[in-house]
Amino acid sequence: MLTTYISIGPAPIKDGQCTFTVWAPACSSVKVIVKTSPDHPWPMEKGEGGYWTVTIDQVTPGMEYWYQLDDNLLRPDPASHWQPTGVHGASAVPDTSFNWTDTDWQGIELVDMILYELHTGVFTEAGNFLGVISKLDHLQTLGITAIELMPIAQFPGHHNWGYDGVFPFAIHNEYGTAAHLKELVNAAHQRGIAVILDVVYNHAGPEGNYLPDFGPYFTDKYKLFWGGAVNFDGAGCDGVRNFFIQNALMWLNEFHIDGLRVDAVHAIFDSSALHFMEELTAQVRLLEQRVQRRKILIAEFDLNNPRYITPVAQGGYGMDAQWVDEFHHALHSLITGEQTGYYEDFGTMEDLARSLQDSYVYTGQYSKHRNRHFGRVPANTAYNQFIAFVQNHDQVGNRLLGDRLTATLSPEALKLAAATLMLSPHVPLLFMGEEYGEKNPFLYFTSHSDEELIATLCEGRRKEFAVFNWEGEVPNPQEEAIFNQSKISWRIDEVPGLFRFYKYLIALRKNRPALHNFRRGNAVRNIRIQNRVLQFERHGNEDVLIIYLNLGKDPEHIQFEHARTKVFDSSDVEWYGPGSLAPAVVQPEQPFLINPFSAIVFELPKVEE
């Protein structure tokens, strides 16, 4: 672990003074060039570890500046907090003042999270943080307790998913200012909603990436699909590790962000004795203690290895939770019938049962898609350490046409998918618009300016889709129309009754003790499979729910040994279904039918006193 962490970027002091710090270990001179007075450079002093600093007078918010390296290159600040004219322009000093009103906010634990993933640029017509604020009441009504923002770091052009960001400390200039983001977080906290931010520490985008001019940020030691790997374990890596740790702490501290979803942690290659993710976790835990607020770290990770979410004392990295793709894959392949690409590893009822019982489907078995044995049992973990979903930006946006489940599934199947997610023992995540059946696609979109890069990108997309055998032309992510098609329509009645059904399921999840038990080994019990019906029980605090999921096209006969009372049936006319075939109270040995593509939940009959 680094013994000293260095603050980087612009740091206002007082009376108009601002200290600038940049890591440029290989440079023989570094100067600050203020855009309005380029003939009066401010020489910086080199200190230990390759950090250069200078304090400048009469600095006001909005002042634009460059770093001049070795009396030659003019470059934006790697730790720029504001790029007013984009990735190729000068950096600017932000206004850090803000009147917070969330003093009593202490954060939210994972057990209480109902996550909602959104992309700031397409979530509303405004395409900015103020637009997101305008929809917070909708999310509060739905029952959402945490929003997850896709990456907001400055990227090239007007629109992008955000994973091509090149200024991790700067907010994309078209989403709003630092004050606007703080206003969003403040407004969310007022409504009891936490804010999780997606950050990318495993790579940087190709356009506007000036980091190599400053220091050894990247290494050829490892090969990545996106280009050079970030240097977390080679010569000069101390400055790189400090850079990303400072970034994480900025979002969590200055912006009151409640947690980070760290993108593709399996692509953070680090052979150090202290893995970067363990070091980051340790610093976040110290911040938690200082500010007395819960800060969550979520790993995006698909290698079925619980090490990242295992406590440090047990040899892990101590992160709080991870995305679990295999719940999605198991359910998606069953409910849609797709079995190409990575779906070739799924498609049986047993796969879905394993995802409910073990969180991972593959825990050491042979994977046809990977052509090897894969995964391990996530022993000593709790269900609330796994975030499950039926749709997200990857699983929708990385389809050929960016089509959502509404494009292929009936309303009954959509309700079944919703029930399967909300009744699972994992922390649920909804993808923007899922709650009402949004039909607009979510496509992959970019707005690069480098023609060679654009051609390489399009060819890469074509190769990626080849394994799925999808028919049709690959949409050009550069086209403005692709971005516009991906905007949310906000037609709340798109699928009649679906929004109200999601709202009911979320409330049920919050209020039933059986759905509040996340202990592996007793939260999910008695999983059985009968044809295309999956039965399991949820247990918690002496509350028991018996759940039936019919993933088939035909009705199925069911009967109980003991009396049971129906809690809900997704096929009920109340939810615009064809009508439940099960009685309100099922007597012992009394057969009943469960509709195709439906979910029924029962409880033990109430005992009269």
What domains can be seen in the chain, in order of their start residue? 9-92 (2.60.40.10), 113-509 (3.20.20.80), 525-603 (2.60.40.1180)
Helices (H), 37-152: 120-123, 129-133, 136-142
Mean pLDDT across 435-457 = 86
Is the pLDDT at 607 greater than 60, yes or no? no
CA 115 to chain centre: 9
What is the H or E stretch that residue 20 is in? strand 18-23
| DSSP secondary structure of 190-241 | HTT-EEEEEE--S---STT--GGGTS--EEEEEEETTEEEE-SSSTTHHHHH
pLDDT digits (tens, 9 = 90+) for 526-545: 999 999 999 999 999 999 99
DSSP state of 601: E
CA distances from 45 to 3, 22, 31, 210, 536 (A): 22, 10, 9, 21, 66
Q: Contact at 8 Å (CB) between 17 and 9?
A: no
Distance CA 181, CA 184 (A): 5
* Given the residues 263, 302, 325, 438, the one annotated as active site: 263
**Is 300 in the active site?**
yes
Place of tokens 């879905």: 352
Amino acid at residue number 295:
K
Distance CA 515, CA 518 (A): 8
pLDDT digits (tens, 9 = 90+) for 266-290: 999 999 999 999 999 999 999 999 9
Is the pLDDT at 89 greater than 70, yes or no? yes
Is the pLDDT at 466 greater than 90, yes or no? no
Mean pLDDT across 7-34 = 95
pLDDT of 2: 72
Q: Contact at 8 Å (CB) between 419 and 428?
A: no
Q: What is the mean pLDDT of the chain?
A: 94
Of 262, 326, 344, residue with least CA distance to 300: 262
Q: How many residues are given for the chain? A: 609
Strand partners, 431: 117
* Given the residues 278, 300, 345, 434, the one annotated as active site: 300
C-alpha torsion angle, residues 196, 197, 200, 206 (rounded to 10): 150
What's the pTM? 0.96
pLDDT of 609: 45
Mean pLDDT across 467-487 = 85
Residues in CB range of 49: below 8 A, 6 or more apart: 6, 23, 25, 238, 239
Residue 464 DSSP SS3: helix
Strand partners, 366: 373
Is the pLDDT at 608 greater than 60, yes or no? no
pLDDT digits (tens, 9 = 90+) for 333-350: 999 999 998 999 999 999
Of 398, 425, 300, 393, residue with least CA distance to 342: 398
Residues in CB range of 21: below 8 A, 6 or more apart: 6, 7, 8, 9, 11, 51, 52, 53, 79
Assign 458 a pLDDT band (cuts: 50, 70, 90): low
pLDDT of 418: 98
Distance CA 270, CA 274 (A): 8
Mean pLDDT lowest among 8-22, 443-457, 587-601: 443-457
Is the pLDDT at 366 greater than 50, yes or no? yes
Q: How many CA atoms lie within 13 A of 235 on its CB side?
A: 3
Is the pLDDT at 457 greater than 80, yes or no? no
Assign 448 a pLDDT band (cuts: 50, 70, 90): confident
Place of tokens 């759905």: 515
What is the H or E stretch that residue 544 is in? strand 543-550
pLDDT digits (tens, 9 = 90+) for 412-434: 999 999 999 999 999 999 999 99
Distance CA 422, CA 549 (A): 12
For residue 259, give both structure tokens.
Answer: 């947690």
Mean pLDDT across 545-549 = 98
Phi/psi of residue 469, nearest 5 degrees = 60, 30
Residues in CB range of 517: below 8 A, 6 or more apart: 425, 523, 538, 539, 540, 541
DSSP state of 274: S
pLDDT digits (tens, 9 = 90+) for 386-407: 999 999 999 999 998 999 999 9
Distance CA 129, CA 149 (A): 10
Assign 464 a pLDDT band (cuts: 50, 70, 90): low
Higher per-residue confidence, 225 vs 146: 146
pLDDT of 451: 73
pLDDT of 465: 61
Of 514, 504, 506, residue with least CA distance to 603: 514
Is the pLDDT at 546 greater than 70, yes or no? yes
pLDDT of 360: 97
Is the pLDDT at 462 greater than 70, yes or no? no
Is the pLDDT at 226 greater than 70, yes or no? no
Distance CA 415, CA 413 (A): 5
For residue 10, give both structure tokens.
Answer: 């612009």
Distance CA 189, CA 194 (A): 6
Strand partners, 31: 43, 68
pLDDT digits (tens, 9 = 90+) for 46-70: 999 999 999 999 999 999 999 999 9
For residue 600, give both structure tokens.
Answer: 């029924």
Q: Contact at 8 Å (CB) between 329 and 343?
A: yes
Strand partners, 239: none
